[in-house]
Amino acid sequence: EPKLTLRPPSLAAPYAPVQSWQHQPEKLIFESCGYEANYLGSMLIKDLRGTESTQDACAKMRKSTEHMKKIPTIILSITYKGVKFIDASNKNVIAEHEIRNISCAAQDPEDLCTFAYITKDLQTSHHYCHVFSTVDMNLTYEIILTLGQAFEVAYQLALQAQRAKPPGAAAGETIETKSSKPVPKPRAGARKSAVLDQDSQSHASVSWVVDPKQDSKRTLSTKYETTIF
């Protein structure tokens, strides 16, 4: 396969002054990007409201765990396929979320070391927000940026596969992406946070959808936005 070319964040999102991704695309395709984080827990989201839901969950989980003596440490393994929770002590995979089921990822504007993302359970159609914390706000920023790059890689791979199909091939598919690229690393004391919003039911800024059931003409739609608090 030809080398995958990604759009830099600064071109994909004109209002995002981020100049480059953190990793080579091959890292997210053939390997994985691992980040150590504390897992504060998850909560059911009854009323999905995009980044507002992640902020509420972050505030609640920070409060509920502030007196806990021991918070689980996990490895977040990120690839273009999704995210795995890996137990840091025994390296067992605890959970796995496909990239298409992740709807929103954002730093907590009140505590830039804390971040969360929302997933959809396909069996129950319920949404859950998973909350994490790291030792450094710049590490949290990098995790959000890497998630953004994972969406971009997945989208470009889908485009590449589509181009490789012979003309007139049956069974079209719809690919739509609305990917938010995170803001630059916040300076000390700055009240900024990176946001990756993929809630297709609201004012989505990220959505990567491949629907093999579509048999009409292939349509490609891209939209990139940046959200700054």
Dump pLDDT digits (tens) for 186-211: 444 444 455 555 543 333 334 322 22
> Closest by alpha carbon to 72, among 90, 47, 51?
90
Residue with the larger pLDDT of the pair 82 and 217:
82
Cα gap 91→88, rounded to integer Å: 5
pLDDT of residue 222: 31
Residue with the larger pLDDT of the pair 38 and 17:
38
Predicted confidence (pLDDT) at residue 169 exceeds the cutoff of 80: no
CB atoms within 10 A of CB 199: 22
Mean pLDDT in residue range 93-101 = 92
Residue with the larger pLDDT of the pair 179 and 60:
60
Q: Where are the domains of the chain?
A: 26-164
Predicted confidence (pLDDT) at residue 52 exceeds the cutoff of 70: yes
The CATH architecture annotation of domain 26-164 reads Roll (2.30)
Predicted confidence (pLDDT) at residue 59 exceeds the cutoff of 60: yes
Q: What is the DSSP string of 118-132?
A: EEE-TTT--EEEEEE
Predicted confidence (pLDDT) at residue 93 exceeds the cutoff of 50: yes
Cα gap 213→190, rounded to integer Å: 46
